A = this chain, B = another copy of it.
Amino acid sequence: MRASRFFISTLKEAPSDAEIVSHQLMMRAGMIKRLGSGIYTYMPMGLRIIRKVEAIIREEMNKAAAIELLMPLVQPAELWQETGRWDKMGPELMRVKDRHGRDFAIQPTSEEVITDVVRSEIKSYRQLPLNFYHIQTKFRDERRPRFGLMRGREFTMKDAYSFDRDLAGLQASYKVMFDAYVAIFTRFGLKFRAVAADNGAIGGTGSHEFHVIASTGEDAIVYCETSDYAANMEAAEALPLAATRPAAAQALTKTSTPDATKCEAVAELLKLDLARTVKTIALTVETETDGKVAKQYFMLLLRGDHELNEVKVGKVPGLAAHRFSTEAEILEVYGCVPGYLGPIGTKAPVTVVADRTVANMADFVCGANDAGFHYTGANWGRDMAEPTLVADLRNVVAGDASPDGKGVLAIERGIEVGHVFQLGTAYSESMKATFLDENGKPAPLQMGCYGIGVTRILGAAIEQNFDDKGIIWPTSLAPFELVLCPMGMDRSEAVKEATEKLYADAQAAGIDVILDDRGLRPGGMFADWELIGVPHRVVIGDRGLKEGNLEYQGRRDTEATAVPVADIVSFIQGKMAA
C-alpha cells in the first residue's frame, strides 16, 4: 500500500471524552471515529487491524473443525420468548418493531437462532458433534458505554456454538475450543491468561475466561505462579487460612466501642490487628408460597480484613436469592442497630454462616448485639454455638494458598476478551432441540458457547502495548507490518530507486508494507507511524545509501540499526519472526 492511496488521519490531542489510553490512542491514530455514544466507524486504519484479528480467529476456528455461517442481526422476538430471554434481559437487549408491529431483537448473541437452525437440521446422533460459528456485528444497549471499543454498544464478536450428544462429547468439544483459543491468543502475540470462571446465572457445567493482561484491566485475575491454577476473582476458591482452630486462650470480655461500627475502627480503638476482628453481614431471603411472603435471615461472618464475594454467597444453600437486610429488619430480628451485630446470642430463626477462615478463628473480636459494644476473646463452642454453615464467602488475596495445594496465589489485572462456556441443555430443553440417540430415543442436545470480542481485542492489545509515543502492535495485529520512510524521494533518484525496490521486494516476500510517499518531513512522518504503532520501520536516505545501508528500527528499539541494502528483507523477516 502507498500512503498516498490510503487514508491516514492523526491527531496531536485525544478528544476529552477518551478516558483510557487505548481509546485515546485509537482516536489519535485515526483508527476509529465516534458516530454516537458507544458507536464507532472503523476507519481504514482500524479496519485493517480488525480484519487481521478476524483472519487469525477464522483460521484457528476452521482448524478446530468449527464451521462458519452467518446469522442475522435482526432476530424475531418469538425465538427469544421461547428461552425466556426476551423478558429476562433488560434494556441491554435492543428491541425494534417492524412496519407490521412485530417485535425483533438486534442480536447481542445468537444462542436462540443457532439452536433454531440446529433443531431443524439435526435428526440423529450420527450428525454430531457439530460446531458452528459466525463473526458478526452485535449490539448491546449498555447503560454507560465508554472506553471506545472496550465497552461499545455496537461491536464485532465471534460466537461459536457446539452441539454434542452427551456430556462427555460436550467436554471434548469444549477442550477443542479451549485449545483453539490458546492458539488464537498466542498468535495475537499478546500476554494472556485463561482463568476458571463462575458459571453465573446462565447455568452450565464449566466456564473459562480469556484475559489479556494489562495493569489497567477492569478485572482481578488470580493465579498460582507454581502451578497452572488460574481463576477470576468470582471463582477463585479461598481455603481456610488456618487448617485447624486454635484452643481458646482469652476470656470473653464485653468492651465499650462507641462510634466504632466498622472493624477498622474497632481494631484501631482496641489496638488490635484487623485480622483478629470478625465482621457481620445480615442478609434476608424472601420466599413466596401461595401468595404469602416469608422471610429468612442469615448472619454472615467474615474476617475484618476480608472482602465479601457475592457470587460465592449466592452459592450457599438457601442464599441463591438474597439481599442485604434493611435497617428495620436488623432492629427487629437482632434488637440492635447495624454495626454492632455478632454471633454471640444470635439464634434461630437466624442462620449463622461463617467463612472458612472465621470458623477456625479463636479469641476473636465481634459485635455484642448491643449498640456501642463489642466482645473480645470470643470463641466458638464456648461462647456461642458452632456456626450453622461454614462456607467460602470471601475474595482471595495475594499470598493465599492455591486451592490445588501447589503454591500461593498472585493477583494481576486483566481485560476479558474471550469466554468459553459449557451451556449443557439449558437452551436445547427450552427450545426442544433434540436428536435421536443410538436407541432411537429423543435426547436434548448438549451445547457449548464460545465468544471472542473481536473489536475489544484492539483496545486490550493497546492497553498492554503502548508507550508515550503511541501504540506498539504485535506484528500479527499491526495495520501494516512494515513502513518505509524515504527521506526526500522527490529530490533524490537514489532514494526513490532504493525505496521502490524495497517496496517491491517486501511485497514479494509477503510482508504487509506501507510506503509513506506523502512527502512529509521526517519528524512528522516518524511521529505518525510511532503513534499508529507499526512494529517495523526502514528509513531510506542518501547518507545511509552512500555506505550501502538502510536504517531499520523496531518500534520498541531505542536506536536504529544500519543494515546493508542486500540483507534488508531477510533482516526484517528475522525481526518479524522474533
Contacts and interface: CB of A to CB of B under 8 A. Distances in A.
Interface of A: 5-7, 9, 33, 35-36, 39-44, 47, 50, 65, 67-76, 91, 94-96, 98-99, 104, 106, 113, 116-117, 120-121, 130, 132, 137, 139, 141, 143, 153-154
A117 B73 contact: no
Contact of A44 (B5, B7, B67): B67
A154 B72 contact: yes
- Report how many copies the assembly holds: 2
A97 to B, nearest CB: 8
A41 B154 contact: no
Contacts of A94: 74, 96, 98
A140 to B, nearest CB: 10
A67 B153 contact: no
Contacts of A71: 35, 41
A98 B141 contact: yes
Contact of A73 (B68, B143, B154): B154
B47 A139 contact: no
A79 B59 CA distance: 38
Given A41-B117, A96-B94, A67 B143 contact: no
A116 B94 CA distance: 24
B73 A137 contact: yes
A65 B5 contact: yes
A137 B135 CA distance: 12
A44 B69 contact: yes
Nearest to A43: B69
B99 A106 contact: no
A70 B50 contact: yes
A141 B99 contact: yes
Contacts of A137: 73, 137
Given A42-B70, A99-B143, 12 more contacts: A7-B67, A7-B121, A9-B121, A35-B72, A35-B75, A41-B71, A74-B153, A74-B154, A91-B99, A96-B96, A96-B106, A106-B106
Contacts of A68: 44, 47
Nearest to A110: B41
A513 to B, nearest CB: 15
A74 B33 CA distance: 14
A7 B104 CA distance: 28
A41 B67 contact: no
28 contacts: A5-B65, A6-B67, A7-B67, A33-B120, A35-B71, A35-B76, A35-B113, A35-B116, A36-B72, A36-B76, A36-B104, A39-B72, A41-B72, A41-B117, A42-B69, A42-B70, A43-B69, A44-B67, A44-B132, A47-B69, A73-B139, A74-B154, A91-B99, A95-B96, A98-B141, A99-B143, A106-B106, A137-B137
A91 B106 CA distance: 18
Nearest to A5: B65
Determine which residue in A40, A65, A68, A70 has the highest number of CB atoms from chain B within 10 A of its CB, and name it: A70
Contacts of A143: 99
A96 B99 CA distance: 12
A47 B74 contact: no
Determine which residue in A98, A113, A117 has the highest number of CB atoms from chain B within 10 A of its CB, and name it: A98
A475 to B, nearest CB: 21
A442 B75 CA distance: 45
A154 to B, nearest CB: 5
Determine which residue in A47, A65, A71, A74 has the highest number of CB atoms from chain B within 10 A of its CB, and name it: A74
A96 B104 CA distance: 10
Contacts of A70: 41-42, 47, 50
A40 to B, nearest CB: 7
Nearest to A120: B33
A41 B106 contact: no
Nearest to A121: B9
A477 to B, nearest CB: 17
A121 B7 CA distance: 10
A59 B9 CA distance: 23
A527 B94 CA distance: 43
